[in-house]
Amino acid sequence: MSPSTDWRVADNRIGILFIVPFVVAAALVFMVYPVLESVRLAFYQHNPLNPDASVFVGLENFRTIFDDPLFWQSFRQAAIWTGCSIVLQTVIGVLLALLLHLPLRGISVFRGLLLFPYIVPTVVIALILQWMLNPDIGVVNWSLRGAGLIDESIYWLATPNMAMLSTIMLNVWKYTPFVTICVLARLQTIPLELYDAAKVDGAGPLRRFLDITLPQLAEVLVVVVIFRTIWTFNKFEEIYLLTKGGPGTSTFNLAIYSFEQSVASLKMGVGAATGVVMMLLLFAGSLVYMRVFRFASEEAE
């Protein structure tokens, strides 16, 4: 090892030494402490307005949520919202990626535009969407009426099924670009020789997609779907900003349920217990992800 290499290694180590305290401090303050505090609170009856009167209640908060029909309704709705969102994001995301992979003039502009929904703040999107979906003056109903597709206004946010559909639409619109970008990146690494060979063997476009493209995308799709599932299941702001969980409780998910328990009902312990349940679900999702990822890596080796 040359002296210059020694210096470089030493530089790297010093750099890491400088970074470590901040990383550790940030992790402790913003991740470890909130998680531990949330777990602690889950075992207490805690009113934020009277923090000095906290009482240890054991598993009572968990019993409360598991006995609450609204918890299970929120869980069911979270599953529907997540499932529908992920399926649509994946299908539309792959189709868009295939389109954007075509060697057309100016395609890079569209690839750039793809990021737009992803970078616009959710609060902006939700407020605009509320106006667009307004049954009386919204542009969506106006356009549908103009095109002769509907006679009567659609109440996008005022009926349970349509409200669920609207929140799914928002999630799909905002996060499909994430799927598209991941898939597009993978598409660009598939060797063209594979397609040429398939063409020589007489494979048509559909055959080539099913036998070459899809298997090549499988690994990235698994990762994307697992990540998106975890993130979507725990989403709060999109639903809260668009419907506040309504009408009724028809768009509640577990995050909204937790918020309502903590802030509206001032039952921090019950809200925290819900958070712990969500954390366990997230942890289970992460385990699945890590296992799939390891399998994928082993297969690659």
Partner 1 sequence: MKTRIPSGMPDPRLSPRRKFLTDLAALSGGVAATGALPAWAQTKSTKTGTVRVWGEPGPYAGVAVDAMNEWAKKFAPGIAFKLETLSWDSVYVKLMTDLAARNPAHCISVESPIAYQLMADLLLEPLDDVVQKVGRNRLVDGVKWEYWGAWKGKQYVLPAHHQPHLLVVRMDVVNELGLGNPDNWNWDDLRNAARTISEKRKDMAGISLALGRNLCTDYHFAALLHSAGGRMFDVANKYQVVFDSPETVEALEYVKSLQPYMPKGAVSYSFLEVVDSIVTGRAGISFYWGRPYGRAAEENPAVFANLQSFNHARHPKTGRRSNWNDFQGWCIPRPNNQYVEEVKAALVYYQTSPEWLVRYCHSLMPNVSPVYKDVLSAPRLQEHPFFKTKRETIMNYYVNSLPNSSSTGNELLKGVNPLAGVVHGRSILAQTVQKVVVDNWKAPDAAKWGARELEQVRKDNLRLLQIA
Binding site for partner 1 (CB under 8 A): 48-51, 53, 134-136, 153, 155, 157-160, 163, 243-250, 260, 263-267
Q: Which is nearer to partner 1, 41 or 220 (CB)?
A: 41
- At 55 the three-state DSSP class reads strand
Encoded amino acid at 12, one letter:
N
Cβ atoms 272, 38 nearer than 8 A: yes
CA distance 2 to 14: 19
CB of 233 to partner 1, least distance (A): 23
CA distance 165 to 159: 10
Cβ atoms 179, 89 nearer than 8 A: yes
CB of 260 to partner 1, least distance (A): 7
Q: Which is nearer to partner 1, 122 or 249 (CB)?
A: 249
Distance between the two ends of the chain, CA-based, in angstroms? 30
Tokens matching residue 18: 């400088």
CB of 200 to partner 1, least distance (A): 59
Tokens matching residue 62: 């968990």
Q: Which is nearer to partner 1, 126 or 163 (CB)?
A: 163
CB of 137 to partner 1, least distance (A): 8
- At 243 the three-state DSSP class reads coil
Q: Which is nearer to partner 1, 263 or 280 (CB)?
A: 263
CB of 154 to partner 1, least distance (A): 9
CA distance 258 to 215: 40
Q: Which is nearer to partner 1, 96 or 170 (CB)?
A: 170
